Amino acid sequence: MDGTLYLVATPIGNLQDVTHRALEVLRTVDLIACEDTRHTLKLLNHFRISNRLISYHEHNELERAEELADRLVAGASIAIVSDAGTPGICDPAFRIVQRAIEVGVAVVPIPGAVAFVNAVVASGISTDSIFFGGFLPSKKGDRRKRLEEIRDIPATLVLYETPHRIAKSLVDCAEILGTRKAAVVGN
């Protein structure tokens, strides 16, 4: 019998924000695949969960997805977690989800925190229509091109940026996106 792939959302700040269902899945699966085993271990230790961990991150995602798909076909239940938030939202998960679907294994999302949703609802900017653009490119030319591509989308634009690039990106946003309501939200 085929296994099940669980996409388990984890807290984006306060460990108490994890759901009961997420904790139950993390306790009962055969394996937890995570971006950083040290980071996930903090969550597991906090809730006294001992389970087997394996790394699953952007540098090993291609090979690891194949390995995990084989385990799923053999009947294993596997949870994918990112360091914070929902796997697959600017974090690894896409390839294993794609492989699980290809091999006919059930994919079950376990809802919870999504950083961009929390940011937009705390921003005070309209949430009637939202465009989530993920991370902006790191190179200035590529970043400015991307901003030009999304400039005229009739929605609240939600973008991720790293702390060390935020100042440069905000300058580019002001120059390209023009005068509009904006917020910078962090955790």
Model pLDDT, residue 9: 97
> Tell me: the pLDDT tens digits for 137-161?
999 999 999 999 999 999 999 999 9
Q: What rounded mean pLDDT belongs to the chain?
A: 95
- Could you give phi then psi for residue 84, rounded to 5 degrees? -160, 130
Asked whether this chain's domains 4-110 and 115-177 adopt the same fold, the reply is no
Structure tokens at 144: 């400015």
Q: Which CATH superfamily is domain 4-110 in?
A: Tetrapyrrole methylase, N-terminal domain (3.40.1010.10)
CATH of domain 115-177: 3.30.950.10
**Type of residue numbered 109:** P
pLDDT interval class at 187 (50, 70, 90): low
Whole-angstrom distance, CA of residue 94 vs CA of residue 112: 18
Task: Give the CA dihedral 47, 49, 55, 61, nearest 10 degrees.
Answer: -80
Q: What angle do CA 106, 60, 6 make, to 5 degrees?
A: 20
Model pLDDT, residue 19: 97
Mean pLDDT of 8-21: 95
Mean pLDDT of 126-132: 96
Whole-angstrom distance, CA of residue 24 vs CA of residue 3: 17
* Percent of the chain predicted with pLDDT > 70: 99
Helices assigned H by DSSP within 124-158: 140-150
Model pLDDT, residue 1: 66
Whole-angstrom distance, CA of residue 36 vs CA of residue 132: 25
Beta-ladder partners of 4: 77, 106
- Who contacts 182 (Cβ-Cβ below 8 Å, separation ≥6)? 125, 173
Model pLDDT, residue 97: 96
